[in-house]
Chains A and B, each alone.
Chain A
Amino acid sequence: DAGITQSPRYKITETGRQVTLMCHQTWSHSYMFWYRQDLGHGLRLIYYSAAADITDKGEVPDGYVVSRSKTENFPLTLESATRSQTSVYFCASTGTGEVYNTEAFFGQGTRLTVV
């Protein structure tokens, strides 16, 4: 199916465990993003990537690792999960048209609970 898909949709993990959230897009968009959404904070940027093998930190990168070996995939890894990382995580992608007029396409989100 065309679009941007995230997996899993729901995940419960224990404190200290490593967990990877997957993101796959079929448009060959250059830019991909990871956001977390929390009550009272809105959407905050964790990491983003301009192309394969190019990644950069966003507003809240601590405790997260990303990689982008292929254009279509952008996994997000929590190296040692903490309760403060309980959140809803959204992956998004954009094309590279005029930068001020590009639309971000979002996945359906992964609800992560760290217990």
Chain B
Amino acid sequence: GDKVKQSPSALSLQEGTNSALRCNFSIAATTVQWFLQNPRGSLINLFYLVPGTKENGRLKSTFNSKESYSTLHIRDAQLEDSGTYFCAPSGSWQLIFGSGTQLTVMP
């Protein structure tokens, strides 16, 4: 099965609301990265995490290495937050991507 599972696969939010994305994985990850892929395909680095929590503006992410999961919280969603969010835990020489969460923020 998939080594990295993201949920939900798709999500629609009203502007100004909050949400959480989840990433469960079955590899021994030492770090986790979260990316936003914009419509042009560019991958924007959101977070690079060792076990613990980081916050950046309206985004907050946690990596729990003992239970092998990570979360990304979006507060006060804006239209420009729309896109596909990828979680990618890393172990050894591989960064393994989940299948992504497609987020649409509506006015």
Instruction: Indicate, yes or no, whether A interacts with B.
Output: no
